[in-house]
């Protein structure tokens, strides 16, 4: 266990469903991130939250909606996804707003859109 917990570990959803991914950290970190990892592609940054404020949205489609209610929790709300959105979604956190320092990843949620 890395200190960053993601649930669920696996998710299968239809294109008309609405679901949410959850990420939780109790490391005292103030920055949290969502990454997408598709097959045979590098990790892609989706969203960054620093001190609960969204500081980056990396041209992500609106069918992905992040929410950060406090510095320990991060959600990714999903609706009307496409099969090409099937991927591993990774959450990470880091100390303060300094990218990379104390960077810790969760184990990911394997999402399959059918």
Binding site for other proteins (CB under 8 A): 2, 37, 40-43, 45, 88, 90, 92, 99-101, 103-108, 110
H helix or E strand, kind and range, residue 36: strand 31-37
Is the peptide bond between 8 and the residue preceding it cis, with omega within 30 degrees of 0?
Answer: yes
The residues that bridge with 50 in the sheet, in sequence order, are: 31, 53
- Residue closer to other proteins (CB basis): 1 or 16: 1
User: What's the number of CA atoms in the CB half-sphere (13 Å) around residue 104?
Assistant: 20
| Nearest Cα residue to 63 out of 13, 10, 105 | 13
Least gap, CB of 16 to other proteins (angstroms): 26
Least gap, CB of 101 to other proteins (angstroms): 7
- Residue closer to other proteins (CB basis): 13 or 88: 88
- Which two structure tokens, joined as six digits, stand for 50? 């620093």
Least gap, CB of 37 to other proteins (angstroms): 8
Least gap, CB of 63 to other proteins (angstroms): 22
- Residue closer to other proteins (CB basis): 66 or 108: 108
């Amino acid at each position: 266990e890395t200190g960053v917990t993601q649930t669920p570990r696996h998710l299968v959803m239809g294109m008309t469903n609405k679901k949410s991914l959850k990420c939780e950290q109790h490391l005292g970190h103030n920055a949290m991130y969502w990454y997408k990892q598709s097959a045979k592609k590098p990790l892609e940054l989706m969203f960054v939250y620093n001190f609960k404020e969204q500081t980056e949205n990396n041209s992500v489609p609106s069918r992905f909606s992040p929410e950060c209610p406090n510095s320990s929790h991060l959600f990714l709300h999903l609706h009307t996804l496409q099969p090409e959105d099937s991927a591993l979604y990774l959450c990470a956190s880091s100390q303060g707003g300094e990218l990379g320092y104390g960077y810790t990843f969760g184990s990911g949620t394997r999402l399959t859109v059918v």
